[in-house]
Amino acid sequence: MSTWYLLGAGNMGLLAAYYLRQAGVPVTVLRHDTASPLRRRLTFADGRPPCDLVLPVLSPVALTEPPRRLVVACKAPYSAAALESVPLTADTQVLRLQNGLGSLDGLLPEGVRLIEVVTTSAVKQDGPAQHQVVAENETWMGGHDVAPDWFEQLSAHWPNLSWPADFQHRQWHKLVANAVINPLTALHDVPNGRLLEDRELQHQAEELCREADQLLTAVDPTWPGDSLPRVMAVASATAGNTSSMRADVGKGAVTEIEAINGYLLRRAAPLGLSLPAHERIVATLTSRT
């Protein structure tokens, strides 16, 4: 496999780089602000020995030809800045490893093959140059009928990676979980599990799920429309977690709400649907950050 270029060498980007390297594929980080090789330690919660990754770094303007394979794993709001000056052509395959949807809309030239990645794995930073792989759960890729030629080689080294036929529904289930758990936990500054205990949060979760189901059923009549129990199951499975949006708000960082609830609003508008609970939560969270 030819070199994969990586935009966003943080938690998820490093995990993808680790699996690509395990599959024998060279990985180069693209960054505007530095050319020094990136040295990061990945530790594993299951007790596997740590892996010291050393990845070459290149400025996008130093590329001698357009990248054929690119992973975008920066947080959604930084996508435009990260892609600036990266020369892309119709031959480029882009792997979007981000929460939310639509964050690369309008940023990729016609013909680029965009492969979407949804993961329930979790990685957190636990030192200046150290990241802990907390869980290697399921990862789904899709967005096209047929998997690319490199998929089989990669899936032999990326645990629980699949190309499921029902990818779109899985992606939407993850989107709805993020559209409910993330802003509610961020606004109320609580761990995910509080959604199971607090009546007011449950009421808000119900409204957000109902509106998301209304939209997704309008887009796809086969949508099961069972978001509330699914979202609550995710909140229960991740009860002790700080959601990524709560963490971003805590750091004073820009959140991914535009790619999550904002995406639902952008899909609803042309259908003449209003999603008042999502509108309110976007406005409230945006005014506080």
Ligand X SMILES: CC(C)(CO)C(=O)C(=O)O
Ligand Y SMILES: NC(=O)C1=CN([C@@H]2O[C@H](COP(=O)(O)OP(=O)(O)OC[C@H]3O[C@@H](n4cnc5c(N)ncnc54)[C@H](OP(=O)(O)O)[C@@H]3O)[C@@H](O)[C@H]2O)C=CC1
Residues 186-225 binding ligand X (CB under 6 A) are 192
Residues 85-104 binding ligand Y (CB under 6 A) are 97-99
The helix (H) or strand (E) run that includes residue 139 is: strand 139-142
Angle between helix axes 261-268 and 276-288 (nearest 10 degrees) is: 140
10 within 8 A of 74, measured Cβ to Cβ: yes
Annotate each residue in 97-126 with x if it binds ligand X (CB under 6 A) or - if it does not, as one string: --x---------------------------
Q: Is 7 in the site for ligand Y (CB under 6 A)?
A: yes
- The interface partner of residue 181, options being ligand X, ligand Y, none and the CB cut-off 5 to 8 Å by kind, is ligand X
Please tell me the total number of residues recorded for the chain in this structure.
289
Burial 76-111 (b: 16+ CB within 10 A, else e): bbbbeebbeebebeeebbbbbbbbbbbbbeebbeee
Amino acid at 77: P
- Binding residues for ligand Y, total number by CB under 6 A: 24
Q: How many CA atoms lie within 13 A of 173 on its CB side?
A: 20
Q: Of 199-207, 211-219, 233-241, 276-284, which segment contacts ligand X by CB under 6 A?
A: 233-241
Pairing of the two strands 113-119 and 122-127: unpaired
Contacts of 31 (CB under 8 A, 6+ apart): 9, 57, 58, 59
The helix (H) or strand (E) run that includes residue 57 is: strand 57-58
- The interface partner of residue 11, options being ligand X, ligand Y, none and the CB cut-off 5 to 8 Å by kind, is ligand Y
Annotate each residue in 47-86 with x if it binds ligand Y (CB under 6 A) or - if it does not, as one string: --------------------------xxxx-x--xx----
Closer to ligand Y by Cβ: residue 2 or 125:
125
Annotate each residue in 166-185 with x if it binds ligand X (CB under 6 A) or - if it does not, as one string: -----------xx--xx---
- Rounded to 5°, angle at Cα 141 from 138 and 144: 155
Q: Of 26-34, 55-63, 161-169, 234-242, which segment contacts ligand X by CB under 6 A?
A: 234-242
Q: Of 105-113, 117-125, 136-144, 232-240, which segment contacts ligand Y by CB under 6 A?
A: 117-125
> Residue from 155, 243, 255, 261 that binds ligand X (CB under 6 A)?
243
Q: Which residues bind ligand X (CB under 6 A)?
A: 99, 177-178, 181-182, 192, 234, 238, 241, 243-244
